[in-house]
A and B are shown apart, each in its own frame.
Chain A
Amino acid sequence: MAKKGKKEVPKLSTSSLPDVIFMILFFFMVSTSMREKDVIVTNVLPQATEITKLDKKNLISIYVGVPLDQQNVAGSAPRIQLNDSFQSTAAIRDFIASEVERRDEAERSKLTVNLRVDENSTMGIVTDVKQELRKAQANKISYAARQK
């Protein structure tokens, strides 16, 4: 039937490929948020059922856990991580003050301190952090937890 032995297959049009990719890109831009800091302590959050979603915009995170590496320098007891370094409890007040300073005046009352504490820590360090937060008048806190 065919006169030609080879019939040329038409080229697949790729002109809409950028549109598709851009669509995926926008989806990821909207649904994700920037990774802000590296966590340098163990951070396995405890599990709970009675949890609520927290708005990332209004959160100040404090990490507590055992240092991941450099244990000969940083020790093997649970430490507090503020921003990107280990800090003592005394530094919390300044940290909160500077974080509050960075936020809009209207948003300040909504600020919540998110305590991201490793589940194997002891309450001693958590209580110390909480006492410092009370002194810093950051009374709204949340215990970060995973869905059980």
Chain B
Amino acid sequence: MEKKKRKVDEINASSMADIAFLLLIFFLVATTMDVDTGMTRVLPPWVDAEKQKDNTDVNERNVLKVSISKGGRILVDEAEYTAADLIRNRMTNESKLSQETKTFLQSPDRSDKKDTLINGQTYPMSEGVVSLKADKETQYKVYIDVQNELTHAFNDIREDYSQKMFKRPFDELDSDERTVISKLVPMRISEAEPNDQTKKK
């Protein structure tokens, strides 16, 4: 009663470190740090078997046919490629397959161009489609390697356009600019199912 202020004992905080350590170790064990990475694709919507006949209407000229056999042999429009043709040249950073895909998409004698209006300007857009077919026995690793080279070809063309139009690499563009480039160079890789193979033969 006499004293108005009594000194409150300080709380012992020496075990705080132990508690924090415990929490830290729990989070170290229970979480992962790896980031998911991958190649994104959009599958065509499902169509019923009877409707399937009139489903695609692409000029045969504008299709680059890539097929992988079960032994890992790759056919690109009747020409045979081997695993070595997927390896990038160190100087040009291009493999034979990505080079071929690029020429197919860019050269006017290989695929048609259509003028597209983007932001008041017309640009020639390639109508080329890459059709990728794989045998049921094909190793997934080979399939991804081929997909990677095809994507590389598309990304390279996008990079070219990005430098030409915006004077910056594609990675540094904002989302609007990216949409423009993606519209101009759509990633048209068609992953047909195995039974599609007989459709146009």
Contact = CB atoms under 8 A, between A and B. Distances in A.
A122 B137 contact: yes
Interface residues of chain B: helix, strand, loop or mixed (majority): mixed
Contact of A46 (B43, B134, B145): B145
Nearest to B137: A122
A122 B134 CA distance: 10
Contacts of B42: 139-141
B80 to A, nearest CB: 19
A119 B141 contact: yes
Interface in A94-148: 112, 114-115, 117-124, 126-127, 130-131, 133-135, 137, 139-147
Interface in A25-52: 25, 28-29, 31-35, 46-52
Nearest to A34: B31
B91 interface: no
Given A22-B20, A25-B24, A35-B31, A46 B155 contact: no
B60 interface: no
A121 B140 contact: yes
B58 interface: no
A49 B143 contact: no
Interface stretch (A2-10, A12-20, A82-90): A12-20
B41 interface: yes
Contact of A143 (B27, B38, B45): B38
B191 to A, nearest CB: 7
A21 interface: yes
Given A35-B32, A142-B40, A123 B45 contact: no
Contact of B148 (A17, A50, A130, A142): A50
A48 B39 contact: yes
B147 interface: yes
B39 A145 contact: yes
Contacts of B37: 51-54, 144-147
Chain A interface size range: 35 or more
A77 interface: no
Interface string A45-87: 0111111111010010000000000000000000000000000
Given A54-B38, A114-B36, A123-B140, A139 B43 contact: yes
A117 B140 contact: yes
A18 B16 contact: yes
A144 B27 contact: no
Contacts of A137: 45-46
Contacts of B73: none
Interchain residue pairs A-B with the least CB separation, the first 9: A32-B31, A124-B136, A21-B20, A142-B38, A18-B16, A50-B151, A119-B141, A46-B144, A134-B46
30 contacts: A14-B17, A17-B17, A18-B13, A18-B19, A25-B27, A29-B31, A47-B144, A50-B148, A50-B151, A52-B39, A54-B37, A117-B140, A119-B140, A119-B144, A122-B137, A122-B138, A122-B139, A123-B134, A123-B135, A123-B140, A126-B140, A127-B194, A134-B44, A139-B42, A140-B42, A142-B38, A143-B41, A144-B38, A145-B37, A145-B39
